[in-house]
Structure 1
Amino acid sequence: MKRIVLIVFIGISMLSCSKENPGKFSREALEDVFISSEGNETPFNKILKKHKGKKILIDVWASWCPDCLKSIPEVQHIQEEYKEAAYVFLSLDRNTRDWKNAIMRLKIKGDHYFMQSGWEGKFGKFLDLNWIPRFLVIDENGKIMVFDATKASDKLIRQSLEIM
């Protein structure tokens, strides 16, 4: 009996830890300003508009993050499989120099933005960001399909991109 109670308790605890998918971005998150790789300030809503009509895989990462670096090859495999999707990388690096050097060194293809507001900015707070890497998949109409994946190998990422 103790074993059953323990299993139920662990199951309920695990469910309560997952973040609920809000379905759409808050106004504040959409207004948060990022720095493009060309050095331009870009609100998040313009990043989404740039890719309207496509599915978007968003990777929140940093070059100092070991788990983020381990996930890059998997993301690159996904890019090879789902060429029709757009790929947006949002960096939480400490500075733009390290961020840009990592993009070049790791040959990361996609649209790149620096999260100048950091973990505690409007976008980070919307995500309730406490771990990176963090992956989101947005559908062609801007709906959030995957909200809280922390591994590029999460089956929901491929399943969401599959429906094209």
Structure 2
Amino acid sequence: MKIFSIIFLLFLTSCAFETPAEFSEKALNESLISIQNETIVFNEIIKKYQGKKVLINIWASWCADCIRSLPEMKKFQKANPSVIFLNISVDENPLAWKIGIERFQILGEHYNLPKGMKNGDFVDFLNLRWIPRYIVVDENGGISLFKATKITDKAILAAIKTN
């Protein structure tokens, strides 16, 4: 019984640490809303920034940890001006999302996942259970860093600096 338990535990932990190198087709085809209220597919957003490093910040205006991380995010942005900062909100209320951007003066590009944090192919792909969540996308649209939950995580800077 102990051996079975150990094998089962190893199986669970190995699944939990999956780190894909690219976005799934379903995630790439997820529709987001731009700050101008236009629908855009995630793949189009990623293609728009091809040739540049992109730091994706998954956040929400109601998320206390997201708001607390913003001063460090602003320092990170200032120290890394060549990086594209792509903020994707999981707010289900578009007005709250837009007020949050203005109120907290969040810099970068802004999009919204109107289905929220628990529904949709993009959040399913990310296995999103906690925000903020940071993802680094390389110049070719591949995933350099799949999961960080603190902007101060040294893995973010390492992924940004990697060629």
5+ residue gaps, structure 1, are 1-11
Return structure 1 stretches of 4+ with deviation > 4 angstroms.
Answer: 12-18
CA distance in 2, matches of 1:117, 1:86: 24
Structure 2: distance between partners of 1:64 and 1:53: 33
Alpha carbons 1:32, 1:121 under 8 Å: kept: yes
- Residue of structure 2 in register with 1:27 after alignment: 25
Percent identity for Structure 1 against Structure 2 = 42
Change (3 A) 1:106 1:17: farther
Q: Deviations over 1:2-24 (max 9, x none)?
A: xxxxxxxxxx7996475321100
In structure 2, the gaps of 5 or more residues are 1-9
Structure 1 residues 97 and 51, CA, compared in 2 at 3 Å: closer, same or farther? same
Correspondence for 2:44: 46
Shift in alpha-carbon separation, 1:143–1:70, aligned structure 2, 3 A: same
Cα-Cα RMSD: 2.0
Q: TM-score, normalised by structure 2?
A: 0.88
Q: Secondary structure at the match of 1:141?
A: coil
Partners of 1:163 and 1:106 in 2: CA distance: 30
Partner of residue 100 from structure 1, selected from 98, 101, 106: 98
Q: Which residue of 2 aligns with 1:123?
A: 122
Tell me if structure 2 keeps the 8 A contact 1:63–1:99.
yes
Query: For each residue in 1:127-163, what CA deviation from the matched residue of structure 2 results, as whole angstroms up to 9, or x when unmatched?
Result: 0111111100000011101111111111100111123
